[in-house]
Structure 1
Amino acid sequence: MPLSEQEQRLLDEMERNLYRNDADFVSTVGNRKGRPSYRNIAIGCVVTIVGAGALVAGVILQQPIIGIIGFAAMLVGVMVAISPGKGSASSTPESPFTGASRGSKPKASASFMDRMNDRWDKRQDDR
């Protein structure tokens, strides 16, 4: 069910106020940029599968230590799979919502989504 025009305006206003007042929160949440590391994903999946196998083997063999090691391996595998690559996080966290880039021309190296966010912000400011 779509929002009414008044509800949409209210939601947009709340969102702008959140970005304006909680810039620290937005910069922390929006800190992850770049592409995922497919190598980490593949390694994490393999470690998770091996850990699941060890967990099942520990249950079958009734050896709790093998099950615990398998569970730990599964946890490590998932953490490796979701971790960003070495070069994917920028050294200076910069969010399009902080207002620092408003009014300035976007750089050619800016990502597509950053440029779209800048355009959206300009349109909202013009209203």
Structure 2
Amino acid sequence: MPLSEQEQRLLDEMERHLLHNDADVVSAPSGDRALSYRNLVYGALLLLAGVGGLVVGVILGDVWGVVVGVIGFAAMLAGVMLAVTPVRRSAPAEPRQRSTAKRQDSSSFMDRMNDRWDRRQDGR
């Protein structure tokens, strides 16, 4: 069942209000994080070394085999975490304005968080 014009307007207004005021609820990709090719390569190499350690641990079999297997598994886990963890892109630093610092001292915590969210959405 389609929405009436009044319901559509009300829905649009609620969405705008949510985007403007409730930054914690809305999760939009900020674009300042990306996967690093270097981390992908190092993670893949660490993953392969972990698989090798796991295989060697199975071949050894005794107590040392368990220790080597656990270390291999930990290396595999670390390799995957390294490969899929995004890194922050470096952005040129912008000079801070003095009026911003004064305003932040007198504003509430939520106002500062909303200002940070707005700056992030504007791409500054």
TM-score by length of 2: 0.51
Q: How many residues align?
A: 90
Question: Percent same amino acid at aligned positions?
Answer: 40
Q: Show structure 2 runs of 5+ residues with no match.
A: 94-115
Task: Return the offset for 1:5.
Answer: 5.6
Task: Return the offset for 1:57.
Answer: 1.3
Task: Return the offset for 1:26.
Answer: 3.6
Change (3 A) 1:49 1:23: same
Q: Does 1:23 align with 2:23?
A: yes
Deviation per CA, 1:24-74: give whole Å up to 9, x if none: 2445x7356244210110000000011011111111211100000000001
CA contact (8 A) 1:41 1:81 kept: yes
Deviation per CA, 1:53-107: give whole Å up to 9, x if none: 111111121110000000000111111111223x4277966554xxxx4xxxxxx
Query: 2:78: which partner in 1?
Result: 76
Q: Show structure 1 runs of 5+ residues with no match.
A: 102-109, 111-127
The within-5 A match list for 1:47-126 is: 47-62=46-61, 63-85=65-87, 87-88=88-89, 96=121, 101=122
TM-score by length of 1: 0.50
Change (3 A) 1:20 1:54: same
Change (3 A) 1:56 1:17: farther
CA contact (8 A) 1:32 1:89 kept: no
CA contact (8 A) 1:30 1:95 kept: no
User: For the pair shown, which has the larger CA radius of gyration, 1 or 2?
Assistant: 2
| Residue identity in the other structure for 2:76 | M
CA RMSD of aligned residues (A): 3.5
CA contact (8 A) 1:48 1:75 kept: yes
Query: 2:32: which partner in 1?
Result: 33
1:23 and 1:43 map into 2 onto residues whose CA distance is 35
| Residue identity in the other structure for 2:68 | I
